[in-house]
Amino acid sequence: MKHVLIVDDEADIRSTLEGILKEEGYTVTTTASAAEALALVRDVEYDLVLLDIWLPDGDGLETLAEIRKLGSENPPEVIVISGHGTIEAAVRATKLGAYDFLEKPLSTERTLILLKNAMQARQLRGDNQEFQRQFTLHVNPAGASVSIKALRQQIKLMAPTNGRVLIYGESGTGKELIARAIHAESQRKERVFVELNCAAIPEDHIESELFGYRNSAMSGGPAEKRGTFERADGGTLFLNEVGDMSLKTQAKVLRALDEQRFTPVGGLHSVHVDVRVIASTNKDLEEEIARGNFREDLFYRLNVIPFFMPPLRDRKEDVPLLVREFLQEFGRQYGRPRVEIADDALAALKQYHWPGNVRELRNVIERVIILNPKVATVERRHLPMLVYRDATRGRKGEEFSTLTQAREAYERDYILKKLDEMHGNVSRAAEALGLERSHLYRKMKSLGISVKE
C-alpha cells in the first residue's frame, strides 16, 4: 500500500483528501504542522507528500527544501498545493524539487491522476538506483571448468522461468553471483533484485526486515519501513543463507510464498506482492530437517530448481582466470592499469586449498595489490605466507631436476614457515633459525623472499 502524507492547515481539506485517498487504497497520514511534517518524514518512508504552501508554523516551500536536505536514498515525491497559486510560486516549487503544483480548490480527478504519476516516477527512480548498483557487479560465474560451464548452461535454461531456486554451496563460493545471473537472464530483469543476508540479521529483527513494519496510527511511534518482500515486488528476492532463519520466521516465509501476501509487523492490512524467490544455503538442509532446525514444507517450496556451486578447490583450473580478473579489477581501482602474474605465483595459488573459496582468493589479490604498489608483475614472494605454506604441503611429490633445486625449495619453504610463525619479524625468525640477522637477509634475497619486516 502506497503511503501519502497530507500537510495542510485546513481540517476540511485534510479530511476530504484522506477519505478519497483511502478509498483508492492509499495509506494516509495527516498533519497541519510543518515541524511535525518534517519529523514524520524523518521517521517514516512516505511515497508522496501533499504539501500546502501556507502553514501556521512555517512556509511550505521552506519545508520542501528541508525535506530534500534529509538525504534519503529514495525521498518521497512532493506535490505542492496552494489556494493562492502564482506562476512564481510554481516555478520556485519545481526548482526546489516538487513533482508538480496543484491549485485550490482541488480537482479530485486531477489530484488522483497526479498522485498515480508521481508514485510511478518514484518507483522508477528507486528501480534505476538499484539497477545502477547492480550494473557495477559482475553477474556471471567466471571459469572454464566443466562444472562452471555446466552451471552457466543451467542458468540460461532455468532463468527465464518463474521457478524458485535453491543454491547450495560453501561460504565464499559465489552463490550471490548465480542469483544475480539468474535474475539478469529472467523475465524480471527490468525490475529490482533485492538481497537479504539471513545470517547477518539478528533474530529479533529478521521478521521486520522481511516484511517491514507499520505504525501509521501514531506519529510519535517508531519509523515505518518496507521489508524486502515489498521492495522486491515485481522483481527477485534473494534470501542468502536461508538455513539460518528461525523456525518462527520460516513459518511466515512459507505463508508468504504460498499466498504471495503478508501483513507487515504492526500492520492492519495485508500486502500483495509478485516476487520470485531465490534462496541459498551453506548447510545441508535435509540434515537440518532431520535435526528439527528447518521446516520440511519450506524446503520443498524453495528447492524447485536446485543449483550447486562447487568449492574452488574442486575447480583449480579456474584459478588463473579468476586471478587475472581480480588483478584487472583491483588494478583499475588502485590506479594500476596493468598488473601481471608470474608463473611461480600462479602455481602457488593453484596449489593452495582455498578454504575461503573465491572470496578468499579475491581478498588475497587485493592485499597483494595494496602491499606492493610499485610491482608490475606479482611473483611468488609477494604472496601471503599462508599461501606459501599450503603450497608446500601440496608439493610433497614434486620432482626436482637437481639436488640444488630441491635444497633451495626446502630452505625457502622452511624460512617462510619460520617467518610466518614469527608474524614476519625477521629478527625473531633469525633467532629461531640460529642465524645472524644479516645472514638471514642475504639468504632471503638469494631465495627470492621479500625482506619486508
Tens digits of per-residue pLDDT, 396-417?
444 556 777 777 777 877 887 7
pLDDT, tens digit (0-9, with 9 covering 90-100), for 292-326? 999 999 999 999 999 999 999 999 999 999 999 99
Residue 259 has pLDDT above 50, yes or no: yes
Residue 453 has pLDDT above 50, yes or no: no
Cell digits of residue 59: 512556509
Helix (H) or strand (E) segment spanning residue 196: strand 193-197
pLDDT, tens digit (0-9, with 9 covering 90-100), for 328-370? 888 888 887 788 999 989 988 998 889 899 999 999 999 899 8
What average pLDDT does range 166-182 have in this prediction?
A: 93
What average pLDDT does range 181-209 have in this prediction?
A: 89
Residue 443 has pLDDT above 60, yes or no: yes
The helix/strand count (H/E) of the chain reads as 19, 16
Write down the pLDDT at residue 54: 87
Write down the pLDDT at residue 229: 93
Of the pLDDT bands very low, low, confident and very high (cuts 50, 70, 90), residue 390 is low
Helix (H) or strand (E) segment spanning residue 194: strand 193-197
What average pLDDT does range 362-383 have in this prediction?
A: 89
Q: Name which residue leads in pLDDT, 420 or 150.
A: 150
Least confident of 25-39, 115-129, 310-324, 402-416: 402-416
Of the ranges 89-98, 140-149, 199-208, 286-295, the best mean pLDDT one: 286-295
Residue 81 has pLDDT above 70, yes or no: yes
Write down the pLDDT at residue 399: 53
How many Å apart are CA 121 and CA 77, to the nearest integer? 8
Of the pLDDT bands very low, low, confident and very high (cuts 50, 70, 90), residue 391 is low
* Count of other CB atoms within 10 angstroms of residue 399: 7
Residue 135 has pLDDT above 60, yes or no: no
What average pLDDT does range 31-47 have in this prediction?
A: 90
**pLDDT over 90 percentage in the chain:** 48
**pLDDT over 70 percentage in the chain:** 90
Of 189, 193, 298, 286, nearest to 245 by C-alpha is 298
Write down the pLDDT at residue 1: 60
How many Å apart are CA 53 and CA 61, to the nearest integer? 6
Write down the pLDDT at residue 217: 42
What average pLDDT does range 146-157 have in this prediction?
A: 93
Residue 220 has pLDDT above 60, yes or no: no
Of 446, 445, 428, nearest to 437 by C-alpha is 428
What average pLDDT does range 167-172 have in this prediction?
A: 94
What average pLDDT does range 36-53 have in this prediction?
A: 90
Write down the pLDDT at residue 400: 57
What average pLDDT does range 172-192 have in this prediction?
A: 91
Q: Name which residue leads in pLDDT, 90 or 236.
A: 236
Residue 4 has pLDDT above 70, yes or no: yes
| Helices marked H in 140-202 | 146-158, 175-184
Of 408, 407, 414, nearest to 446 by C-alpha is 408
pLDDT, tens digit (0-9, with 9 covering 90-100), for 235-254? 999 999 999 999 999 999 99
DSSP-derived secondary structure for 122-153: HHHHHHHHHHHHHHTS--S----SHHHHHHHH
Residue 134 has pLDDT above 60, yes or no: no
Write down the pLDDT at residue 397: 45
* Count of other CB atoms within 10 angstroms of residue 419: 25
Write down the pLDDT at residue 389: 58
Residue 371 has pLDDT above 90, yes or no: no
Residue 212 has pLDDT above 60, yes or no: yes
Residue 395 has pLDDT above 70, yes or no: no
Grouping H, G, I as helix, E, B as strand and the rest as coil, residue 321 is helix
Q: Name which residue leads in pLDDT, 177 or 73.
A: 177
Residue 136 has pLDDT above 50, yes or no: no
Buried b / exposed e over 76-98, threshold 16 CB at 10 Å, is bbbbbbbeebeeebbebbeebeb
Regarding pTM above 0.75, the answer is no
Of the pLDDT bands very low, low, confident and very high (cuts 50, 70, 90), residue 132 is low
